[in-house]
Amino acid sequence: MEPKEKILIVEDEKNIARMLQIELDKSGYETAIEKNGRRAYERIIQENYDLVLLDVMLPGMDGMEICKSVRQISDIPIIMLTALFETKDKVNGLDLGANDYVTKPFSTEEVLARIRGILKRRKEELRKEEKRLVIGSVILYPERYEARINSEVIDLTHKEFELLLYLVENKPNVLSREQIIQKVWGYDFLGYTNVVDVYISYLRTKIDDKYNEKHIQTVRGVGYKCVD
Ligand code: CA
């Protein structure tokens, strides 16, 4: 299960804050409420939230100021909560880098829809930025040490992943057992080169056999290579 997304509700009106919190918790988010503007700013930059709901009129530091200051150091999604009479605030908020705004009085469904929209776009952006390598229908995410097939995570150990990564990075070239040992196990590895054969067989069991793919080939007398 993916971890809950964390949302900071910055709102000094107790009833509104509480109502938002109840609905967001119900929708599966992890929430916190902050009613002071200055403390809100500190929490946004110090704690690890996925999104901020930001009221404009706040004690300590107003929402516009918070938005402007946060934007200088962070691109965390911000949705401004503005009162109807603060029409110019909407424009200002977006100018200052808020991702969206809702006008009070709002329905929680509306706020939830905005949150879902922004978090979804954000995830897609992050996925696009993430480095990935593809071999057939297997996708490797080196930063996460994770390989997936049909979006299912393949259960690999660290060494198995490193071995697969090395082969995929070098496809379609053949890598000798010695090259693989040096790269994956390190120069001072004292074991026998047949550790490579053993690990290749693990990968074949976990990928080729299990998913009926054929990516890892033996090149007799030379070593191994990966093919799409
Ligand atoms: Ca307020």
Residue 143 in 3-state DSSP? helix
Sign of the CA dihedral 48, 53, 56, 60? Answer: negative
Q: Quote the ligand 1 centre to 14 CA distance (angstroms).
A: 9
- The answer to whether 52 touches 77, Cβ cutoff 8 Å, is yes
pLDDT digits over 50-108, tens only?
999 999 999 999 999 999 999 999 999 999 998 866 666 666 777 788 999 898 889 99
Q: In what order do the strands lie in the sheet with 138-141?
A: 133-135, 138-141, 146-149, 152-153
Q: Which runs of consecutive H residues, i.e. helices, occur in 73-224?
A: 87-95, 108-129, 158-169, 177-180, 194-203, 210-211
Q: Quote the ligand 1 centre to 62 CA distance (angstroms).
A: 9
- Transcribe 2-33 into DSSP letters: PPPPEEEEE-S-HHHHHHHHHHHHHTT-EEEE
Q: Quote the ligand 1 centre to 4 CA distance (angstroms).
A: 27
pTM, rounded to two decimals: 0.61
Q: Quote the ligand 1 centre to 192 CA distance (angstroms).
A: 69
pLDDT digits over 98-121, tens only?
999 898 889 999 999 999 999 999
Q: How confident is residue 211, by pLDDT bands cut at 50, 70 and 90?
A: confident
